[in-house]
Structure 1
Amino acid sequence: MSGMIERLPLWPTLPDLFGWVEGGLPGAHMAVGTHGIRIEEHLAGETYVLRAELPGIDPAKDVEITVTEGVLTLRAERGEETAEKHRTEFRYGTFTRSVRLPAGANGDEATAEYKDGVLTITVPVPEAKAGTRTIPVRHG
């Protein structure tokens, strides 16, 4: 034995640390054992647009989008390839993200399109009618 201590490089552990930081506290907003999905969202006129970063996913078989009580939930799954690897920073398993839709959003008419690793979901949000309604009072 040479008495020298082998030092392992710090770099292989940093991606795990950054992944934890960007994902928040484990289990805080998603199910245990799942990964988050990076998104962008904005309102464009009367349409809510959500774009999700999902490279390497087959949208026809690996993506599920649901709307329940005003909450849009996106779920995707990426299976690990069986080829031998020396090192990987890819994430495999189940990915989920839930967002509350804007008031008045019509989830029943949502559409989704996948192109170049980005899933774009659009949901109509009709403009609320600003008229005043008078309610008659019945005399009993």
Structure 2
Amino acid sequence: MRGLLGFLPWIVYAFVAAPHSPLTPYGPALVNVWPAGTAWGSLAICKPFTLGIARTMAPREVWESPRFCRVNAVITTVWASAFTVAALSLTLVPAAAPHATALVIAIKALSFALPAVFTAWYPKRVRRALIK
């Protein structure tokens, strides 16, 4: 729910205050700014945002280990980077191709799919490396 509150100012601005604003074409990019900022901010305070989900999947005894925190910092960095790249990429779309809905969808899909695949793969890789 808290994440949705980050979008509230944009929604109010876009639909109520200035529906014909010059920022409107940049809505898809601006939507990625909030999760990017959240992810980078969570890293800045040494509380990677992936910790909450990771703790539901890992035994309690590893939650405080430096390796567990490091794995989550790496995963959060990948998510933060994906959101940032998506935001930057999507700022270019309105100028290059103002009606490129398929391109916007592709960028948004990749900005979730690639980090999601990494999130599933990376902890397994780390576990395998520990076993060797």
Query: Of the two structures, which has the highest relative contact order with CA contacts closer than 8 Å and spacing of 6 or more?
Result: 2
Who wins on radius of gyration, i.e. which is larger?
Answer: 1
TM range (shorter): under 0.3
TM-score by structure 1 length?
0.26
Structure with the higher fraction of residues in strand conformation: 1
TM-score by structure 2 length? 0.27
Say which structure is richer in helix. Answer: 2
